[in-house]
């Protein structure tokens, strides 16, 4: 469903070409300073503009509708709205008959019996991540002693990211990438056995972000090629500091006080300018197809701030839960 | 917390060396044939016994305590108990002062203020997966037209798995592996925007399974090195069949009717026989340490049936939800 | 928390004197006709204006922000906003020191450490019921074959309601009342053992409505004075029709297909014009106190449509759940 | 569904004539002393034996299956089992064709398509309240400074309860009653706007208890006959002590630190020895009917300890939630 979290509960709504997108954040404690300017740096990081990103420009100015009074959170739900202003819906009419390969167009149409708002991906659009970023800003404020930092560490298989983008622009084809997120300052003990492990909570939110197809914590897939004696992180003091950090700061699903880190795989965006093939429901045949509209060649450039937000949302929830016990 | 699922809700309980471990499965529809013998094949697959697995032997005989009447589910919660019989608790007393590297001993002790049952990993033991397997059997019965099959496809970095195990036994060090799970026969439309994507639901349960540190759907991390034109799966008929399946049967978080598949990274079990180093809280120094007790050298051998169960639990829940709408 | 429901999930937000109040309704199936005009009749019934109700006038015009496309629900969350226009916040400054007797002012201030928006009751204001009514309109549309009808059957202890109101206006003191809600056309089988009985679900939502202090289903408290042989409703046909209906259409927490009915107790609104006594935190003494602002003498007049909405919300959720099994 | 609670989560299972009934309590903090003897006093209060109660005798000896180690809670789920020993299932065969009036037999059979365990009410039996009482014992231990006390204050319409029971035995007809529950020592601030008011949480659990048809907090239905000036409780000191307590210790859905109290209506048990009428599905006609088996004439005698438990469960959950913020 469109909400996540047991105590820090985030409910998302809106469509790419509708009236607005936004978020309701329930469970933020009272008394935290919060104003529009707090959201702008992270929203800026999510914006297109760099080479390889869409030329669609939006103000992306958040409107705080509820939950803040005299510049502080009140304990009541915080609602943030982002109006949709720069909308060119005509681009999307063809979707009804020719679902874009790699997109959710086809499954959404079937699942929602043709009633879904198909314009620009509708409710499944990457534009919805504005709300995720906004909720992430609030979550980070709650996690006051914690730093959550994500960066693109690989694009199109290369760690020379600028070169990879240039190649994609040259080739006019979309590329993916790997985003790494590092979290420092977490206290020991976040995560709840059995089903709400830290990995469960973070991956749950992460896989809500469009275009993400994999996640690994600590050594992750590389751990499968290590011996236990190599992989185990020796504890070296009474605080639980470990000599190595193959576990990525998590043991038995619970934070151990060391740095938590994970990597996510971002697939190349489906909206490549290249000619493709898809089923045309009107002509009942497979036909050539080219995506119209304004799109990113490397969506992964804009993903790090969303990954940070997703991690912060999950950790804020676990953090409140751990306070209760 | 110790339960998962919105409509098919699984609640796990028990400790490795306590009276019993078990599961309560709430939300299984009435009228499904279920008896003890239905559980045995999957429980057998989870058992130790092969080279590289622990010599601890348990009957692992499930007792159906509630929810079944005249050989059929009643619609009331199904409780399955597994008694703990073959327990040697003396092995674990040292844990209190010298937490095993790579295990949750240290974090559990801190998180639960020293009150956790530390014997054999307690509530965080791999033995708890008996309940997961049992719940998976019920979930698979619910998903009547669906086949869920997982297999170990790589151990210790090699796809010659027998050789890898032999090398681990020779070296007396634990190894990890990669398990792939393939699901066929799913209808289009499982998964709920925005937060309950198929990937979110499956990864949530998967990361509750001890020793799992990564998951990737479809092409996963390999997708980050592909162009969009390569990665996109062309739709070739009105049912949504795709020519390739890089998406792993999922678009926009929703099943598209093609085969769903994913891979998980299983780390080498922390209980390697090798000499290690850890903090000794009694002597307040870092000391040599060797794990006692009966353990697996390649826990990944026993993980596939647990991965199947985890996937089936998540899909059974999403399947019930999709019926409601 | 500020959301209710497992599959039909309602999230409420806003403050009486903030920017807006509203609701996000998640889990409404796709394809249901919905436009602004659908909301107006129920919103009209909630409005003040009759004798005994507040002279504060609001347009109460709903704005559909998301979840509706081409006049039909899309399956995505439906967000409804009500702007606050006619706000006179100056009336409420005194609340900070002299909490209004019978109101939540005092507990809100303590619970939220002084950060709550205290103006007009803030997030706990009766104005929030606009969102409940809007969600109720959607719920009733989902329950297409069902009629939910509530009416004030008693005010100030009398069933001559006009006379009771006149007496209250004459006496310038607030009065309460009893609202009865009757639901017809429900199918047999709504409600889930053990904890989600129909009574549990309905009462959960009902007691979120301000000023409600009691609820009874069927014969309710009168049943405590009956013999079992009088109270039992004889089943007279194969559909389960009963000769009497002391059970109020519910057996064992599950609808039995007969009319469901219940009554709720609405206390006199705390905002009586009469002189009262309260603690003054500034002077640290008990002082005379008189409520300022525009208030209802008989809030119960405006409650029936809210009770209908609350019942419809609970029943819509149970109705979706029952479809899943 | 069969679980309740956000942080203190209670999952109930079992059938009256099955192998056992029981409860899993998740979210009890670690370090609370708990042993079998702690459960016995409350279980004793629930037992039949007095005039007007069933002659069925059970040991009702709780077995602690998990979550307790060295006499203290571990933080892991606590499972309590009660074996069913004294079962006479033959009594119930007739239910299949002639549903008992006032019971859930008919609706359960339809809802669960004939697969429900109909013996002795199956999963909907009052015997399930053993688990509620056990969970209540744990909840009360968590609420260390709080006293929760319920008593039968009226039976068959009279406050001379012994006389009322004697009359019921004489007349051989079942009677109901009113149970009042008083809670002292609660801190101010329990209950969460908007939907998780104290009244919402308590009534949700209370209406899971069989035979309860009404609840009122504070003055309840009597408040509907009072003027606001009479009903409002004047605050008389800085702690929020009130001169009167018509609100029952709750303002705006939140505890105000004064005594919380409520009353519940217990209907006469459906199992009256009197001759009744019901539909016979075999003969397809309405026929005379007499309940067989061992039953209570005044179930209300055994309800107070269950009401205490239900209130404690709801308050323990709200108490944990309030710690988080």
* In chain B, where the domains are located: 3-324
Q: What residues in D contact A76, CB-CB < 8 Å?
A: 193
Q: How confident is residue A57, by pLDDT bands cut at 50, 70 and 90? A: low
| Residue B244 touches chain D, beta carbons under 8 Å | no
- Rounded to an integer, the average pLDDT of D104-128 is 94
| Residue D195 touches chain A, beta carbons under 8 Å | no
Of D18, D74, D113, the CB nearest to B66: D18
pLDDT single digits (tens) C296-316: 899 999 999 999 999 999 999
Distance from the Cα of residue D250 to its chain's centroid: 21
Taking the CA of residue B44 and the nearest CA in chain A, the distance in Å comes to 23
| Residue D275 touches chain A, beta carbons under 8 Å | no
Q: What DSSP element (H or E) covers C167?
A: helix C161-171
Tokens in use for B4? 């998962």
Of C29, C75, C321, the CB nearest to B7: C321
- Rounded to an integer, the average pLDDT of A17-44 is 97
pLDDT single digits (tens) B79-97: 999 999 877 666 667 777 8
DSSP state of D311: H
Taking the CA of residue C107 and the nearest CA in chain D, the distance in Å comes to 6
| Residue C75 touches chain B, beta carbons under 8 Å | yes
| Residue A187 touches chain B, beta carbons under 8 Å | no
Distance from the Cα of residue A256 to its chain's centroid: 24
Q: What residues in A contact C11, CB-CB < 8 Å?
A: 3, 11, 24, 26, 77
- Identify which of A134, A138, A135 has the alpha carbon closest to the alpha carbon of residue A62: A134
Mutation target for D interface from B24, B25, B121: give the one with most D CBs within 10 A: B24
Strand partners, C149: C182
**Residue A164 CB neighbours (<10 A):** 22
Q: What is the pLDDT of residue A308?
A: 98
Contact A16, A91 (CB under 8 A): no
Q: What residues in B contact A284, CB-CB < 8 Å?
A: 238
Contact B241, B251 (CB under 8 A): no
Let me know how long chain B is: 325
Topology annotation, domain D3-324: Chorismate synthase, AroC fold (3.60.150)
- 3-state DSSP call for residue C22? strand
Let me know how many helices (H) and strands (E) chain C has, helices first. Answer: 7, 15
Taking the CA of residue C55 and the nearest CA in chain D, the distance in Å comes to 19
Q: How far apart are CA C305 and CA C311, in angstroms?
A: 10
Q: How far apart are CA C249 and CA C186, in angstroms?
A: 9
Taking the CA of residue C70 and the nearest CA in chain D, the distance in Å comes to 32
Q: What is the pLDDT of residue A48?
A: 80
Predicted complex ipTM: 0.97
Q: How confident is residue A96, by pLDDT bands cut at 50, 70 and 90? A: confident
Of B15, B22, B30, the CB nearest to D112: B30
Q: How confident is residue D304, by pLDDT bands cut at 50, 70 and 90? A: very high
pLDDT single digits (tens) D215-264: 999 999 999 999 999 999 999 999 999 999 999 999 999 999 999 999 99
pLDDT single digits (tens) D153-186: 999 999 999 999 999 999 999 999 999 999 999 9
pLDDT single digits (tens) B250-303: 999 999 999 999 999 999 999 899 999 889 988 999 999 888 766 789 999 999
Strand partners, C43: none
- Looking at mean pLDDT, say which of A43-57, B99-113, C127-141 comes out highest: C127-141
D58 pLDDT higher than 90? no
- Rounded to an integer, the average pLDDT of B16-34 is 97
Taking the CA of residue A313 and the nearest CA in chain D, the distance in Å comes to 15
Contact A24, A78 (CB under 8 A): yes
| Residue B122 touches chain D, beta carbons under 8 Å | yes
Of B193, B323, B324, the CB nearest to C76: B193
**Residue C169 CB neighbours (<10 A):** 14
| Residue B263 touches chain D, beta carbons under 8 Å | no
| Residue C11 touches chain A, beta carbons under 8 Å | yes
Which chain D residue has the Cα nearest residue B29?
D112
- Identify which of B65, B67, B5 has the alpha carbon closest to the alpha carbon of residue B33: B67
- Rounded to an integer, the average pLDDT of D273-287 is 90
DSSP state of B87: -
pLDDT single digits (tens) B160-210: 999 999 999 999 999 999 999 999 999 999 999 999 999 999 999 999 999
C89 pLDDT higher than 90? no
Q: What residues in A contact B243, CB-CB < 8 Å?
A: 277
First-to-last alpha carbon distance for chain A, in angstroms, is 27
Which chain B residue has the Cα nearest residue C320?
B324
Which chain C residue has the Cα nearest residue B30?
C325
Mutation target for C interface from A14, A24, A68, A113: give the one with most C CBs within 10 A: A24
Taking the CA of residue B23 and the nearest CA in chain A, the distance in Å comes to 12
Which chain B residue has the Cα nearest residue A128?
B194
Tokens in use for C229? 């042989």
Q: What is the pLDDT of residue C55?
A: 63
DSSP state of C235: B
Distance from the Cα of residue A112 to its chain's centroid: 24
Q: How far apart are CA C298 and CA A182, in angstroms?
A: 57
A186, A189, A194, A197: CA torsion to nearest 10: 10
| Residue C1 touches chain D, beta carbons under 8 Å | yes
Please give the interface size between B and C, counted as residue pairs whose CB atoms are below 8 Å apart: 30
Q: Between chains, do D227 and C175 touch, taking CB under 8 Å as contact?
A: yes
**Residue A243 CB neighbours (<10 A):** 13
Taking the CA of residue A27 and the nearest CA in chain B, the distance in Å comes to 17
Q: What is the pLDDT of residue C56?
A: 61
| Residue B109 touches chain D, beta carbons under 8 Å | no
Q: How far apart are CA D79 and CA D24, in angstroms?
A: 4
The side-by-side arrangement of strands in the sheet containing B9-14 is B3-4, B9-14, B20-26, B78-83, B63-66
Name the D residues in 20-39 with CB < 8 Å from any C CB: none
C85 pLDDT higher than 90? no
Contact C60, C21 (CB under 8 A): no
Q: How far apart are CA B10 and CA A204, in angstroms?
A: 17
Taking the CA of residue D85 and the nearest CA in chain C, the distance in Å comes to 22
Taking the CA of residue D76 and the nearest CA in chain C, the distance in Å comes to 22
Instruction: Determine if residue B261 is left, alpha or beta; phi over 0 gives left, psi from -120 to 50 gives alpha, anything else beta.
Output: beta
Q: Between chains, do A325 and D6 touch, taking CB under 8 Å as contact?
A: no
Q: What is the 3-state secondary structure (H, E, C) of chain A?
A: CCEECCCCEEEEEECCCCCEEEEEEECCCCCCECCHHHHHHHHHHHCCCCCCCCCCCCCCCCEEEECEECCEECCCCEEEEEECCCCCHHHHHHHHCCCCCCCCHHHHHHHCCCCCCCHHHHHHCHHHHHHHHHHHHHHHHHCCCCEEEEEEEEECCECCHHHHHHHHHHHCCCECEEEEEEEECCCCCCCECCCECHHHHHHHHHCCCCCEEEEEECCHHHHHHCEHHHHCCCECCCCCCECCCCCCCEECCEECCCCEEEEEEECCCCCCCCCEEEEECCCCEEEEECCCCCCCCCHHHHCHHHHHHHHHHHHHHHHHHHHHC
- Identify which of C215, C222, C266, C264 has the alpha carbon closest to the alpha carbon of residue C245: C222
Q: What DSSP element (H or E) covers D204?
A: helix D198-206
Contact C150, C263 (CB under 8 A): no
Contact A123, B194 (CB under 8 A): yes
pTM for this entry: 0.97
C58 pLDDT higher than 80? no
**Residue D45 CB neighbours (<10 A):** 15
Please give the interface size between A and D, counted as residue pairs whose CB atoms are below 8 Å apart: 30
| Range with lowest mean pLDDT among A244-248, B210-214, B251-255, D85-89 | D85-89
Name the C residues in 79-108 with CB < 8 Å from any D CB: 99, 101-104, 106-108
A85, A86, A92, A93: CA torsion to nearest 10: 60
The residue with tokens 């016995």 is D40
């Amino acid at each position: 469903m469109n909400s996540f979290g047991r105590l820090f509960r985030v409910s998302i709504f809106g469509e790419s070409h509708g009236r607005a997108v936004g978020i309701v954040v329930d469970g933020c404690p009272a008394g935290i300073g919060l104003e529009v300017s707090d959201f702008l740096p992270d929203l800026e990081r999510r914006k297109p503009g760099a080479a390889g990103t869409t030329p669609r420009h939006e103000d992306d100015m958040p409107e705080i509708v509820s939950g803040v009074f005299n510049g502080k959170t009140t304990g009541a739900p915080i609602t943030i709205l982002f109006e949709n202003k720069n909308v060119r819906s005509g681009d999307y009419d063809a979707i009804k008959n020719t679902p874009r390969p790699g997109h959710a167009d086809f499954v959404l149409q079937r699942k929602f019996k043709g009633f879904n708002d198909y314009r620009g991906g509708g409710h499944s659009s990457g534009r919805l991540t504005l709300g995720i970023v906004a909720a992430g800003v609030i979550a980070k404020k709650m996690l006051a002693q914690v730093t959550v930092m994500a960066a693109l560490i690989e694009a199109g298989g290369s760690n020379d990211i600028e070169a990879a983008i240039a190649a994609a622009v040259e080739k006019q084809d979309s590329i993916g990438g790997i985003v790494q997120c590092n979290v420092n300052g977490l206290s020991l003990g976040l995560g709840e056995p059995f089903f709400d492990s830290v990995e469960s909570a973070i991956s749950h939110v992460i896989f809500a972000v469009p275009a993400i197809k994999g996640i690994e914590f600590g050594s992750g897939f590389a751990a499968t090629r290590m011996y236990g004696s190599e992989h185990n992180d020796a504890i070296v003091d009474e605080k639980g500091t470990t000599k190595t950090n193959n576990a990525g700061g998590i043991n038995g699903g619970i934070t151990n006080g060391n740095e938590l880190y994970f990597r996510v795989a971002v697939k190349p965006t489906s909206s490549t300018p290249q000619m493709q093939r898809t089923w045309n429901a009107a002509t009942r045949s497979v036909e050539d197809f080219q995506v119209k509209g304004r799109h990113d060649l490397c969506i992964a450039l804009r993903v790090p701030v969303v990954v940070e937000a997703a991690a912060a949302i999950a950790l804020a929830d676990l953090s409140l839960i751990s306070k209760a016990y």
